[in-house]
């Protein structure tokens, strides 16, 4: 029997789905129940074998890329930042002691600025039919939630790049469902953060935020990606936790590498840097 055709056009998706159903409808025998009989692409045990890691990496790269391309999304604004920063007026749920509670509660101002910044980006994005400057976050709570929420308030789509972690990380409710992705590999997730990035913003955060910040800076510093506005929210925070000037004074980075970074306090300042860079 030939491939399924609709108006003489081959439909591989129809055939693949149909074959999966047919493979489950055969008589149950020792042969059909054996793992070897399963269709390779429908065999979870086979797909999760260590030898198949290159295939899984490729799939994680392909799936979001294909769906983003189908939506016509050409560029993004990346929002990195801490999952533990609470919404203003809400409990600092991640605090382990009073010092942390005080610090995280004070840091809720960055939640508000993240939300406002996402609104500013999304207003411009809607003028491009949601193709340019689309907000992308890690899809979780804290600063990420604020970013997706700000976009939603402007009726604009936003992207969430979630990842499976030992502790629960469910997507926040403001990510556009059709642009809510889930990853196993950190490396592929990082690629998707930066492949379309026209600006990178970093709010106060922990190890994950630091990792994302320094990897992105390294790619720009070494010319592996285009130089884009790289904006850190919270001057005092960043100068306390990272002595960028000392790195330059010591000689482990060049003095001009400091020019890659802009420090801001507000959403308006951050958007102005982006607008000036691209002459919007």
Domain spans, the chain: 10-46, 55-278
Q: What is the pTM of this model?
A: 0.90
Please give the pLDDT value at position 11.
62
β-sheet bridge partners, residue 199? 77
Segment 23-72, tens digit of pLDDT: 777 889 998 889 898 888 888 999 999 999 999 999 999 999 999 999 99
The whole-number average pLDDT for the span 102-130 is 97
β-sheet bridge partners, residue 9? 6
- Extended strands (E) in the chain: 5-6, 9-10, 76-80, 134-137, 159-163, 180-183, 197-202, 230-233, 262-264
Residue with the bigger pLDDT between 179 and 40: it is 179
Residue 7 has pLDDT above 70, yes or no: no
Q: Which strands, in side-by-side order, build the sheet including 180-183? A: 180-183, 159-163, 134-137, 76-80, 197-202, 230-233, 262-264
Tokens coding 197: 């990035």
Q: Which CATH class is domain 55-278?
A: alpha beta
User: What average pLDDT does the chain have?
Assistant: 93
Tokens coding 47: 């797909």
Residue 100 confidence class, pLDDT cut points 50, 70, 90: very high
The whole-number average pLDDT for the span 262-268 is 98
How far is the C-alpha of 36 from the C-alpha of 45, rounded, in Å? 11
Please give the pLDDT value at position 262.
98
Residue 22 confidence class, pLDDT cut points 50, 70, 90: confident
By DSSP bridging, strand 9-10 and strand 5-6 are antiparallel
**Which residue, 275, 279, 270, is CA-closest to 113?**
270
By DSSP bridging, strand 9-10 and strand 159-163 are unpaired
The single-letter DSSP state of residue 100 is H
Please give the pLDDT value at position 2.
46
Out of 80-89, 126-135, 142-151, 158-167, least confident range: 158-167
């Amino acid at each position: 029997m030939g491939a399924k055709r609709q108006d003489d056009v081959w439909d591989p998706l129809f055939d693949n789905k149909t074959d999966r159903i047919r493979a489950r409808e055969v008589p149950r025998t020792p042969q059909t129940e054996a793992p070897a009989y399963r269709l390779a692409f429908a065999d979870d045990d086979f797909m999760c074998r260590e030898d198949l890691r290159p295939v899984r990496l490729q799939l994680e790269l392909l799936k979001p890329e294909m769906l983003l391309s189908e939506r016509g999304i050409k560029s993004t604004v990346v929002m990195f930042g801490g999952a533990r920063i609470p919404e203003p007026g809400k409990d600092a749920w991640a605090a382990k002691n009073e010092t942390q509670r005080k610090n995280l509660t004070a840091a809720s101002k960055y939640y508000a600025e993240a939300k406002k910044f996402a609104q500013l980006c999304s207003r411009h994005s809607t003028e491009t039919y949601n193709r340019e400057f689309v907000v992308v976050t890690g899809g979780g709570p804290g600063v990420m939630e604020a970013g997706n929420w700000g976009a939603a308030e402007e009726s604009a789509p936003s992207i969430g790049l979630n990842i499976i972690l030992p502790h629960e990380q469910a997507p926040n409710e403001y990510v556009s469902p059709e642009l809510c992705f889930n990853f196993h590999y950190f490396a592929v997730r990082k690629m998707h953060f930066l492949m379309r990035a026209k600006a990178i913003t970093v709010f106060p955060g922990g190890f994950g935020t630091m990792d994302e910040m320094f990897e992105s800076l390294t790619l720009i510093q070494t010319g592996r990606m285009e130089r884009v506005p790289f904006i850190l929210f919270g001057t005092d925070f960043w100068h306390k936790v990272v002595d960028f000037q000392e790195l330059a004074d010591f000689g482990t980075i060049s003095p001009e590498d400091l020019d890659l970074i802009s420090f801001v306090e507000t959403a308006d300042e951050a958007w102005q840097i982006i607008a000036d860079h691209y002459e919007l």
